[in-house]
Amino acid sequence: MSAPSPTLHSNCSDCPIRHRAVCARCEADELAELEEIKYYRSFEAGQTIIWSGDRMNFVGSVVSGIATLAQTMEDGRTQMVGLLLPSDFVGRPGRDGAAYDVVATTDLVMCCFRKKPFEEVMVRTPHIAHRLLEMTLDELDAAREWMLVLGRKTAREKIASLLSIIARRDASLGQGKASERMVFDLPLTREAMADYLGLTLETVSRQMSALKRDGVILLEGKRHVTIPDMSRLMEEAGDDSDGGFLV
């Protein structure tokens, strides 16, 4: 159960998220300034990185691994409100308390900055503020897209939407463009999928079975998914046939 070494990637120029994280637009001198205040932290799969309501004394970027942002009601109902992938930013400059639980779903490494120094650097480094604005606008779009899924889609459409989002993300990270056939591993349990989609895990399971029965997806084991026809999946998701989400 050992987490990755916290001293990995100690040099920004070798960093795997260098070109996509909040520091993406930084020049060499700006990067050097960040480099001085950064430190790495590792988390194990299942570990809670931040508890909602906690005082946040750092912000940072996910370097590797996956985490979820979730809200929980008093009676235990939970809704995931975001997925954090490598290069995504955690924390909010200018606010002290965390608004959500952040949980590592895989082993995870974060590149952290103490909040105060980071805020100071940000004030004199427009490149950082500008990149963070861009990233936040993207997240806002994603959140609003998700509101349509939660508010208006059927269970079957919700599942198809989630699968198509994961497939599309994997495509952009790896196998070139979104082609007809896609293959990936689900990074989520059925319960986690349910928490994303505002469903119960039983409904998720039933709809996965239904999509499989109807040939929209192929399953090997519980997690390995093949999409034989991406446009069919998009149709099932209720998205425009010709692209759906804007990029």
Partner DNA sequence: CGGTACTTTGAGTTTTGTCAACGAGGGTGG
Partner DNA sequence: CCACCCTCGTTGACAAAACTCAAAGTACCG
Q: Give the footprint of DNA on this chain (CB under 7 A).
A: 154-156, 189-191, 198-206, 208-209, 219, 221-223
- Region from 56-64, 105-113, 146-154, 179-187 binding its own copies, contact rule CB under 8 A: 146-154
Among 10, 47, 48, 71, binds its own copies (CB under 8 A): 71
**Shortest approach of DNA to residue 125 CB, angstroms?**
41
Q: Under the phi-then-psi rule, with left for phi > 0, alpha for psi from -120 to 50, and beta for the rest, what region is 193?
A: alpha
1 binds its own copies (CB under 8 A): no
What does the H/E/C string look like for 89-156? Answer: EECCCCCCECCCEEEECCCEEEEEEEHHHHHHHHHCCHHHHHHHHHHHHHHHHHHHHHHHHHHHCCHH
**Shortest approach of DNA to residue 39 CB, angstroms?**
30
Across the chain, how many H-helices and E-strands are there?
A: 7, 11
Q: What is the per-residue burial (b if ≥16 Cβ within 10 Å, else e) of 41-52?
A: ebbeeeeebbee
Q: Is 150 or 219 the residue whose CB approaches its own copies more closely? A: 150
137 binds its own copies (CB under 8 A): yes
**Shortest approach of its own copies to residue 3 CB, angstroms?**
28
113 binds its own copies (CB under 8 A): no
Helix (H, G, I), strand (E, B) or coil at 225: strand
**221 binding partner (options its own copies, DNA, none; Cβ < 5 to 8 Å by kind):** DNA
Q: Is 4 or 238 the residue whose CB approaches its own copies more closely? A: 238
Strand order in the sheet with 58-64: 38-43, 108-114, 58-64, 89-90
**222 binding partner (options DNA, its own copies, none; Cβ < 5 to 8 Å by kind):** DNA
User: 3-state DSSP: the chain helix, strand, coil percent, rounded to 5?
Assistant: 40, 20, 40
Binding mask 147-186 for its own copies (x = CB under 8 A): xx-xxx----------------------------------
Q: Is 109 or 199 the residue whose CB approaches DNA more closely? A: 199
Q: What's the Cα-to-Cα distance from 104 to each of 6, 135, 213, 226, rounded to whole Å?
A: 15, 20, 32, 25
**Shortest approach of DNA to residue 246 CB, angstroms?**
25
CA angle 245, 17, 41 (to 5 degrees): 115
Site for its own copies, rule CB under 8 A = 69, 71, 73-75, 77-79, 81-82, 92, 94-95, 97, 99-100, 123, 126, 129-130, 132-134, 136-137, 139-141, 143-148, 150-152, 197-198, 238, 240, 246
